[in-house]
Amino acid sequence: MPLPTRAGLDAVPAYRQGRSAPAGASKLSSNESPHAPLPSVVEAVRERLDGINRYPDMSAAALRDDLAVRYAVDPALITVGAGSVEIAAQLIHAVAGEGDEVMFAWRSFEAYPSLVRIAGATPVAVPLNADHAHDLDAMLAAITSRTRLIFVCNPNNPTGTVVDADALEAFVAAVPHDVLVVIDEAYVHFDRTESRGAGIELFRRHPHVAVLHTFSKAYGLAGLRIGYAIAPAEIAENQRKVAIPFGVTDLAQTAARASLDAEEELAGRIDEVVVQRDRMQALLATAGWPAVPSQANFVWVPARERTALLEALLHDGGVITRAFPGEGIRISSGSAADIDRVEAALAASSPTPDLSVRKEATV
């Protein structure tokens, strides 16, 4: 007799991690920081190692206090989780269940549809517009009486596009107040537009907005898994109910606090990632692979049926990327040496690809 399995999980693909890179290659498949941890952060973590026999503070009170001062909000409105993925899951479970709908643009963060299905809710994917950005009018039109939550990934992963502040303000104002709008700002530190960091201001002005941040990208703590949300009180309370107990380690909390103290030093590293991102975008365009203008720490090439060709070309040059078959390829920004390797790989061929927009995709 077969073992019991949960109905519906056949529709949930296992999350696909960015491919690892062999020795000597550049791993540009996971949107990680190319820099080693700051010495001050490493030292802060090292000082806590003797206490790893103890459970961490499940509430992350000290970190939440730091963040509360930074954003001038009540610490009770801040929740933490094991990276932005767990925070997104908390938000979904806090408001949605069987029969409810959770909306997001598509293509956007790959985990959204799986997290929604795991919660028992129904994912509603609204295609990006011709500029590979959120189609806010279409998203408004897709709201139903079953809609409970809308994700706006800003900048969007994997396309790097940004919803400007005025458009986002108008969108949030038009969404019914019984629908939670989550502004996922995992990549906000790399945004060089005037809209940078609009989420927290929207949270202050609207009662149905939550903001999601992570320490994995700009702060370089991907291996420690810590993110946080700022949300309305009733949402934050529900998040604490559905959060994994002790999901954020003491070492992660310590590293996050040390990183907040080192933001001036980190800013230079972020600027370098942005410089290399823009350089890579120019190199791709020169080689006949124009990328979508990005405000994240990666670029998106809508290569469609030539995606495998570009992935192979870069792979042969020692560059490991994230390909979405039939749609495009996402290449993380790295160090100057990483982008040198991208340049050398592109120089091996001069394709003239068809890069017209692909709007349809399944989730």
pLDDT digit string (tens) for 139-151?
999 999 999 999 9
Omega cis (within 30) before 302? no
d(CA 229, CA 216): 14
Q: What pLDDT was estimated at residue 348?
A: 84
Which amino acid is present at 294? S
What region, left, alpha or beta, does residue 220 occupy, with left being phi > 0 and alpha being psi -120 to 50 degrees?
left
**Whole-prediction pTM value?**
0.93
First to last CA, the chain: 32
Give residue 19's pLDDT. 67
Confirm if 141 and 177 have CB atoms less than 8 A apart: no
Cα–Cα nearest to 185, from 149, 215, 222, 206: 215
139 SS3 class:
helix
Helix residue ranges per DSSP H, the chain:
39-46, 61-71, 83-95, 111-118, 136-141, 165-174, 198-205, 233-242, 250-261, 263-286, 307-316, 336-346
pLDDT of residue 361: 44
The total of other beta-carbon atoms located within 10 Å of residue 109's CB is 20
pLDDT at 363: 54
Judged by DSSP in three states, 294 sits in coil
Query: Under a CB-based contact definition with an 8 Å cutoff, are residues 97 and 75 in contact?
Result: no
* Degrees, nearest 5: CA angle 221-201-38: 20
Q: How far apart are CA 255 and CA 104, in angstroms?
A: 31
pLDDT on residue 13: 78
Q: Is the CB of residue 273 less than 8 Å from the CB of residue 190?
A: yes
Rg (CA), the chain: 20
CB hemisphere CA count around 84 (13 angstroms): 25
Q: What is the pLDDT along the chain (363 residues), one digit of tens a residue?
A: 788 878 777 777 776 766 666 667 899 999 999 999 999 999 999 999 999 999 999 999 999 999 999 999 999 999 999 999 999 999 999 999 999 999 999 999 999 999 999 999 999 999 999 999 999 999 999 999 999 999 999 999 999 999 999 999 999 999 999 999 999 999 999 999 988 889 999 999 999 999 999 999 999 999 999 999 999 999 999 999 999 999 999 999 999 999 999 999 999 999 999 999 999 999 999 999 999 999 999 999 999 999 999 999 999 999 999 999 999 999 999 999 999 999 999 998 755 444 444 444 445
- What domains can be seen in the chain, in order of their start residue? 18-37+264-346 (3.90.1150.10), 39-261 (3.40.640.10)
At 213, list the tokens: 């941040």
